[in-house]
Structure 1
Amino acid sequence: MSARGKHRRPGKSTLTRGIVAAGTGGAALALPIVGATGAHAAQPAQAASAAVPQVSLVTYKVVEGDTLAKIAKAHTTGDWKKLYKANRAVIGDDPAAIRPGLKLTVGTKNAKTSGKTAKATTASAATPASAKTYTDDLDGWIRESLDIMAQQGIPGTYDGIQRNIIRESSGNPQAMNNWDSNAVAGTPSKGLLQVIDPTFTAYHVTGTSLDPFDPVANITAACNYAAARYGSIDNVFGAY
């Protein structure tokens, strides 16, 4: 736990990252919002020619602003009704009731094959997190966060993230500090890496949930904060 009085809310300066600050030892620190630069995302690389199926099923995690039509257009044939029918057990009786965090089974659009091999295609070096399936536990949350971080150019390793999570919340995504100075001020530290709301808003990573208790959103926001303040979550070994 960090000492009382060490946490500050972010100021109103212009952000150079799009994410939020992490708490330390149960009491979240809000980094003063100052300009910070990070590593750039990996450059696209030429993929090797290979035979690929035209459609493959993957798990897609719904994010804020998604609709069935939008997801269908981006990942399947564009028919949202078929997408709804395939995921009705998850969505429920109202197709408009999708919400951030739901995991849908979708078909990806792959390049068409010609003969036995497909034409070479240009793809990102980092596979989009939404195109992978992750386990719904600490290991899966960390791995999904790392994929998103790689796309956003946010540094950090599995060990660095796990070490700080265990210290901050013992791996409980619903952990909340209700006793420190931040809690008294109305901004209790929340989630795996104990992020307070003002810093979560300041360092939130686009594409992740707006819920600070969401494990992946909490981790990526905290790592973005740590990158701005310390260079990387890997450089954090105590209250920060």
Structure 2
Amino acid sequence: MRSTVSGYSALSKAHKFSAAGLVTVAGAAALTFALVPQAQAADVQSAGVKTVSLSAQEFGVTQDGELAKAADDAAGQAQVKAAAAVQAEAKAKADAERASRSEARKPMKPAAKPAAKPAPAKPAPAKKAYADNLDGWISESLDILRSKGIPASYDGIKRNIMRESTGNPQAINDWDVNAVNGVPSKGLLQIIDPTFKAYHVEGTSWNIYDPVANITASCNYAADKYGSMDNVNSAY
């Protein structure tokens, strides 16, 4: 039933429902329907309202589809993220298990051996003591001669010492030809300075009057010239 107001025709109940549907679909947008002239009511009913109704339906379908698509996209992204998290956790667990197995297969390192204690230093052999007399001088000189490979004997040395100086390490000859030439014979075995210096044996004193140095240099000279002091039976 249509009610009229002085030259205007109100929209029918059906038209109102159509407009209400448009409001609902469009997200509760307020629509105000103004009264239209009666002459145009039929056109509104036949075309305008119908057009509005279709537009609302089309709008609703489009909006619902976009919302649904957005929801699907969001859900899909969430599922992808969840799956990625599960895969990452599984990979981390697998890596940890492999590392644990690899560590277990490694051969155990042998225990470090304690550092060997250094061998105690051997004490230096005590220096041989020699008597400070003719016997001790000859004995010490013989040990040096043997270490150098120079031949000599105790008896050969003592015999020549007794003939040359009677065992006096400070003896000097100031009358023979050597003395005349300015190079007198000196010491136990009466050796001159040039010969003493030429046949000096390393490890002994450079003092020609030193008993051991005098004997050792004289024996070195005799070994070179006569084969050994044992072969000397006169002045040399």
Higher relative contact order (CA 8 A, sep 6+): 1
Higher helix proportion (structure 1 or 2) = 2
Look at both structures and tell me which one has the larger radius of gyration over its CA atoms.
2
TM-score (normalised: structure 2)? 0.47
TM-score of the aligned structures, taking structure 1 as reference length: 0.47
